[in-house]
């Protein structure tokens, strides 16, 4: 279904807030490679809450709960942010953790080639949404793909060693051609994501479909 039809339904008066983020969706081969890596790490760290492969993405901006009457402003901001942006390639490579592999809270796959172009795109999104009244991020942007989150962060030498051993592992190349507005549906078994709208870099509005 075209994005316009979906977003129109969400903008009804009295509707509850929607939990939103702006992201780059990943093609299926890259999600599969990262999913295989997650399965390898799962055997070392079963207490980590691992992200399902279908949910893997690169976040550009997290918006949180947004009132439906602000959706038009979000759409306009993302149209502005993407209008003069150029397409580029990025490479998903390397593993790491925030705040540090020695005591990980968030485990991630990093960005190699294309990280500067990615940061520039994230900056465009940040500026456009800031002008629309959304609070700026407190920390500088660091592009990554979240793979898992520790339920109770603790030192794990085996996991730290596995992350170090994969510091240069490559998971695939991504052609960045569009930016997606995603809705997060929270459930006891984990989040489910729905793409509400997408904008092609260079200013074209796109229908919603699966890039994989």
All structural domains of the chain, each given as residue ranges with its CATH number in brackets, are 3-206 (3.90.1140.10)
Active-site choice (75, 144, 185, 187): 144
The model's confidence at residue 203, banded by pLDDT at 50, 70 and 90, is confident
> Quick check: 210 pLDDT over 90?
no
Task: Specify the 3-state DSSP secondary structure of 171.
Answer: strand
Q: Are 21 and 182 in contact (CB under 8 A)?
A: yes
| pTM strictly above 0.85 | yes
The pLDDT, as a whole number, for residue 54 is 95
Q: Is 57 a catalytic residue?
A: yes
Angle between the 71-83 and 115-131 helix axes, to the nearest 10 degrees?
Answer: 140
> Quick check: 6 pLDDT over 60?
no
pLDDT tens-digit readout, 71-123: 999 999 999 999 999 999 999 999 999 999 999 999 999 999 999 999 999 99
What DSSP designation does 150 have?
E
pLDDT tens-digit readout, 38-68: 999 999 998 899 999 999 999 999 999 999 9
Q: Is 75 a catalytic residue?
A: no
The pLDDT, as a whole number, for residue 47 is 85
Q: Are 66 and 20 in contact (CB under 8 A)?
A: yes
The pLDDT, as a whole number, for residue 9 is 45
Report, in angstroms and rounded to the nearest whole number, the Rg of the chain calculated over CA atoms: 17
Task: Give me the mean pLDDT over the 151-165 stretch.
Answer: 91
């Amino acid at each position: 279904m075209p994005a316009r039809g979906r977003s129109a339904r969400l903008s009804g008066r009295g509707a509850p807030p929607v939990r939103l983020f702006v992201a780059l969706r990943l093609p299926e081969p890259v999600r599969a490679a990262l999913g295989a890596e997650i399965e390898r790490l799962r055997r070392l760290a079963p207490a980590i809450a691992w992200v399902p492969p279908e949910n893997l993405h690169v976040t550009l901006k997290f918006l949180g709960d947004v009132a439906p009457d602000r959706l038009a402003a979000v759409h306009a901001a993302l149209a502005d942010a993407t209008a003069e942006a150029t397409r580029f390639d990025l490479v998903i490579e390397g593993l790491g953790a925030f705040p540090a592999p020695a005591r990980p809270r968030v485990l991630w796959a990093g960005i190699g080639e294309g990280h500067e172009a990615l940061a520039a795109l994230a900056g465009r999104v940040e500026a456009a949404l800031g002008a629309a009244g959304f609070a700026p991020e407190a920390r500088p942007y660091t592009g990554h793909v979240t793979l898992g989150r520790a339920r109770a962060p603790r030192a794990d030498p085996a996991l730290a060693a596995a992350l170090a051993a994969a510091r240069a592992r490559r998971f695939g190349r991504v052609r960045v051609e569009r930016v997606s507005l995603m809705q997060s549906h929270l459930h006891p078994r984990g989040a489910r994501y729905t793409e509400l709208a997408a904008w092609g870099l260079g200013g074209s509005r796109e229908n919603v479909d699966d890039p994989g």
